[in-house]
A and B are shown apart, each in its own frame.
Chain A
Amino acid sequence: MKPDWMLQSMKISEEILDGVPLTTYEIEDGKIKPLIYFFHGFSGNKDQNIMGRGEVLANLGFYVVAIDAYMHGLRMPELEKKRSNISRYEDIIEIVMHTAKDAKRLFSKYFVNRPQVHKDNYHLYGVSMGSLTAFYLSTIDEKVKTIVSLVPTPSFVDYYKDKATLYGFNHGFFYDRKIAYYQAHDPLTHHELLRDKKIFMGCGTNDEIVKPIFANRLKEVLPEVTLTYYDTGHVSTKEMLEDSYEFLKNEVL
């Protein structure tokens, strides 16, 4: 016998709001639902990198909105396609900040008007670069209540410096100006803005791409956040996913 949620109708829709392509997932049961954004990782897109999480979160009772990050997926202009991945990585913080501002505006402009969506607050689910989008968005919108971050980093400056060393970014005027700008907006530096949020961080102990050290630093300054380690690298494991869903069930639903 099928569980109840499999008997209900899953609606998956694609739309473009303000030029931002997005996919929504919802169970059509007439209930008012909390909205949760899904933010994918660097060089990913809203559909290929969600890997079934849209349906799972919708079945849990969320109105799920997966959006293409700025200059990613369907939002990638020809100019961007010509750049190497390393060159594009130099703008990762700008991608994060732009995407977060898009998500904030789309919620207050469009989603609050939808009858099936809770209007007072919303929640975030981010993977890798998407986690950084979630952390930054949480510092600029008090309507964000819950963050699930997998293989995460809440850091702008130290994370960027780490990548600059690894990939050999050009140093000089633009690098210096970027670092100064990131300092003013860094979620880790401004962790006080995250204090009233419910936060789950799932880290891979062997993650060399986004090192767990950045999540550790947030845990040090905000001991109340949930930080769980998994014996893996820069991947979302089954156990990590199940723990993230359990966290959302306990904190939101």
Chain B
Amino acid sequence: MAILVRKFQIDGIPLSIYETEDLKDKPVIFSFHGFMGYKDGDYFKREDYLARLGYIVVGIDTILHGERRIDVYEKKPASEKMKDINQMIIQSAEDAVQLYEKYIKYMPRVIENEVYAIGVSMGGAISTYLSTIYPLKKAVSIVGSPSMVEFYKFKKEKYQWIEDEYYLANLAYLSDFCPVEHQDKIQCPLFLTGGLQDETIPYRFPLMLKDHPLATVKLYDTPHMPNQQQFDDAYEFLLKKD
């Protein structure tokens, strides 16, 4: 069956909506891209696949990414942009909630209040954070970090950021939002993957939720680039009837 793709912007947020060309009602799944990526750039074409599985797939450009990039920010090196990654995660999750509550749940064929989330790397972190602020049905994080605070400390060491006002302000602020520090707010089944060779987001980060009763963590012998098996396992997790 053909996939219908609609690309437009609402409230200044560019989004792509993928769904099969039939008249069936469907649940919505948000699909979040990674750091420095954009909404239609997934190597594994997961939006097409998820649409064929029966979802209305909504991809959005994270703030300062894709068609939301601004010149003054693009001049910064990646190590400087990384200092703002957690704000990007928080803002994207809030954007998704607002778009869903304001528009998407009223759109044709949308089964109201059946919302899922999936994302890769930074997008996985958005999925996990979204599960702490919105009643999702299920969420998937592929090679993402559920931690904001410890992850921020890890990046400080990696990029040798100085411990200045900016770093300390972010570290203090993140403590109120970090899904690992507020695990009680995770209200839906969560599937997290990690790569045993991943040096960008080491697998110790997804393992931080291994004891959460709603979390399933699975490790793969991969670097930060996930393999098809991780997606296949994620799709199986999403489709499994509880």
Contact = CB atoms under 8 A, between A and B. Distances in A.
B11 A113 contact: no
Interface stretch (A15-23, A144-152, A157-165, A232-240): A15-23
B84 A78 contact: no
B188 interface: no
12 contacts: A16-B72, A16-B76, A18-B84, A19-B73, A75-B70, A78-B69, A91-B12, A94-B12, A98-B12, A109-B170, A173-B103, A174-B103
A77 interface: yes
A201 interface: no
B72 A110 contact: no
Contact of A79 (B9, B87, B169): B9
Interface of B: 9-12, 14, 63-64, 67-73, 76, 84, 87-88, 102-103, 106-107, 165-166, 168-170, 173
Contact of A113 (B64, B68, B70, B169): B169
Given A16-B73, A18-B84, A177 B12 contact: no
Interface in A97-121: 98, 108-110, 113-114
A107 to B, nearest CB: 11
B64 A19 contact: yes
Contact of A74 (B14, B71, B102): B71
Interface in A76-105: 76-80, 91, 94-95, 98
Given A91-B11, A177-B103, A18 B87 contact: yes
A64 interface: no
Given A19-B88, A109-B169, 4 more contacts: A19-B63, A79-B68, A91-B11, A178-B102
A95 B73 contact: no
Contacts of B14: 79
Contacts of A74: 70-72
Given A19-B64, A177-B106, A77 B72 contact: no
| Interface of B (DSSP majority class) | helix
A181 interface: yes
Given A18-B84, A109-B169, A113-B169, A77 B103 contact: no
A21 B106 contact: no
Interface in A1-28: 16-19, 21
Say what secondary structure dominates the interface of chain A.
helix
A110 B84 contact: no
A200 interface: no
A70 interface: yes
Contacts of A95: 12
Contacts of A174: 10, 103
A217 B166 CA distance: 42
Nearest to B10: A174
A17 B83 CA distance: 10
Interface in A132-180: 173-174, 177-178
Interface in A208-244: none
B12 A70 contact: yes
Contacts of A18: 84, 87
A164 to B, nearest CB: 16
A35 interface: no
B87 to A, nearest CB: 5
B16 to A, nearest CB: 13
Given A77-B70, A91-B11, A94-B12, A109 B84 contact: no
A58 interface: no
Contacts of B69: 77-78
A199 interface: no
B62 to A, nearest CB: 11
A203 interface: no
A178 B12 CA distance: 13
A74 B10 CA distance: 20
A112 to B, nearest CB: 9
Contacts of A94: 11-12
Contacts of B63: 19
Interface centre among B10, B70, B87 (most CB of A within 10 A): B70
A19 B102 contact: no
A57 interface: no
A220 B147 CA distance: 50
Report, nearest first, the 8 A-B pairs whose CB atoms are least far apart: A94-B11, A79-B67, A74-B72, A18-B87, A109-B173, A19-B64, A181-B102, A71-B12
A93 B201 CA distance: 38
A77 B165 contact: no
